[in-house]
Structure 1
């Protein structure tokens, strides 16, 4: 059967998957600057029986594997950008690019996808329809690579989209899924509060922007605790408070930057409305003025219920030796630009556990983040099983 042959070929290539991951880990590149990584991906497909479209959505690569037989077209996506983080793992293949690190697993996504794609090319005569491989840049930074790839036609002719994220917080051997809202939508805001500067000894002759901004930091937390339905999900985080100055000088302006997450678009809109209301109130309370830059970027990631059911059933029936469980999981707090694909087409984004074997793990975006490399073969087999089953007519 095709899945058994696919699994065997992937098992034989496990060392190559790990080798590619380690190479990419050594040479990470930031979002929108992944030129060498993109070239590495392009070179991988040279002389392979597929169609390669380069610079889709910037540095993206779109690969089409055509069986030559009628059928559906399934897109499978892997991102490949890194983060502005100085690595502290001590790995022998740690980043050689100072201040840049693969701290989210995108090196692993690309490694498993390259070898899976190669294997699907080798076996395409046993499939129907087409596979579109989306090697996507710039997941980490808005407006995001997915949106740009869509604008450049990456989804043209595609029926459905699948994606995997390896997760250091989940046990290796597990594959995890959930239908419906699976990851939060995200917003960013920057507000500059303007008061009136003055001498520290004479506050009555000034209007202290720090005092007003400090109240805002406290008051904005009531949006979640007092304005949202207790059963809704939302967070507001002030990640930057630029109030540095001279100890005896009252500052005339202060800038703050914040992060908003929500599990529905309605909640995201409500939070924005309430933040604006608090700032309007500050004008009256403290006599300040403000400038607000508020941007909604990645939407809530919605997994199509029917496609997710197909994915979970296929994985449970696949009998992948390395998989110990296929389990419905809780929604994940981070945001993900795969959500843009899911807005356009019925899609499914699922997770492969990557917790290190010793059980000690660091979260994604941490300087000591690492994965259990056993997860890479699991990801390849899990995605491969779904692709093989999908292109044999089970997904209606």
Structure 2
């Protein structure tokens, strides 16, 4: 495998740099998907289609006969970028003002292209079927994954796999977790209507700002007192707007934020408790309220049978010392959950940080960077999965 991977390493880096220089936002990945489509068409033995306007699906149907069950597996890479002005000091900086690959999707797409390039020449060694999914719109609801699942791309699939870059883990490692991998996310907007008036006579008003402050404080009881600490969600108020003059108590106050939860029961209960708190406080003060919910992606849940495959492959190709067990789930979100709800799935982190990069900037940061030496290990992971499940 090593010799084969070395032949595509430079190509994978080149592809990643092309994507990084030419980022496109969710549902606008027209040039990106066209580039991927045309490239995949040059690889042998692949059936390449466009399930949606800005996504690509390539299918490799193996010709090897197997005495046992022939698996159909799916590999997924997301391809959209973020509305961020890049500040990273790299030669291949974004050419699209205000748009940047700050979440590593350029690396995800390049690694999966490398795997497709290698595996497309192994048709005779593959028993079963491999689907390479280049997915649009991971960053924006309702998400491209859900759309592709509805299109039927997971039909007949036995397992789904994906990698996500981690700027905090060193290059060469792959971080493995069974169970909940990413949290569910539900955003909220609350409008409180009181009665405005002059700041010198607050007793004649119903102050929505005071009510909003009380709500902000009290909803933290959802985490500390209403749900088990073992399942506690994260509740954050991130916006609060009220008033425009220093001597006027406003009529309205608006606040908003997000709830991140790890299981369906806590997800529902957190929303219910928040509504009760808002209702109780506003009624106590004689105000009224409106809540708008924006229900996000469910939690990504890695199933044991798929994770066992990931762990075995990583330990085989990278050694046990580079197969890092992740103790806690991430409270970020990922629409890979649509695949993990459909079939046994395994999404894992791949380390992309080296000391030469300096500070490890987080995902979605304008100075986010990766160590491109990590890309070959991602290709190696996908090829290893394919060989384990479809090489028998």
Same fold (TM over 0.5): yes
The alignment status of 1:304 with 2:303, answered yes or no, reads yes
Deviations 1:251-292, CA, capped at 9 Å, x for gaps: 111221211111111111111111011111122222111111
Q: 1:66 aligns with which of 54, 61, 80?
A: 61
**TM-score of the superposed pair, with normalisation by structure 2:** 0.94
The alignment status of 1:102 with 2:101, answered yes or no, reads yes
* Aligned Cα root-mean-square deviation (Å): 1.6
Instruction: Check conservation: 1:209, 1:252, Cα contact below 8 A.
Output: yes
Deviations 1:320-342, CA, capped at 9 Å, x for gaps: 7xx95112112222111101101
C-alpha displacement of 1:312: 0.5
Question: How many residues are matched?
Answer: 385
Instruction: Check conservation: 2:20, 2:100, Cα contact below 8 A.
Output: yes
C-alpha displacement of 1:319: 4.9
Paired residues for 1:72-151 under 5 Å: 72-151=71-150
CA–CA separation in structure 1 for the residues paired with 2:231 and 2:17: 40
Structure 2 counterpart of 1:376: 375
Instruction: Check conservation: 1:80, 1:107, Cα contact below 8 A.
Output: yes
Structure 1 counterpart of 2:388: 389
CA–CA separation in structure 2 for the residues paired with 1:198 and 1:33: 46
Instruction: Check conservation: 1:57, 1:151, Cα contact below 8 A.
Output: no
1:248–1:58: structure 2 CA closer, same or farther, 3 Å change rule? farther
Gaps of 5+ in 1: none
CA–CA separation in structure 2 for the residues paired with 1:165 and 1:138: 15
CA–CA separation in structure 1 for the residues paired with 2:61 and 2:74: 12
C-alpha displacement of 1:221: 1.3
Paired residues for 1:1-396 under 5 Å: 4=1, 7-48=2-43, 49-54=45-50, 56-69=51-64, 71-319=70-318, 325-330=322-327, 331-358=329-356, 360-393=359-392
CA–CA separation in structure 2 for the residues paired with 1:68 and 1:196: 73
CA–CA separation in structure 2 for the residues paired with 1:91 and 1:59: 27
CA–CA separation in structure 2 for the residues paired with 1:392 and 1:123: 10
Instruction: Check conservation: 1:357, 1:372, Cα contact below 8 A.
Output: no
C-alpha displacement of 1:177: 0.8
SS at match of 2:223: helix
CA–CA separation in structure 1 for the residues paired with 2:12 and 2:242: 48
C-alpha displacement of 1:124: 1.7
Deviations 1:282-328, CA, capped at 9 Å, x for gaps: 222221111111233211111111221122012212357xx951121
Instruction: Check conservation: 2:102, 2:366, Cα contact below 8 A.
Output: yes
C-alpha displacement of 1:32: 1.3
C-alpha displacement of 1:98: 1.2
SS at match of 1:9: helix
Gaps of 5+ in 2: none
CA–CA separation in structure 2 for the residues paired with 1:13 and 1:121: 13
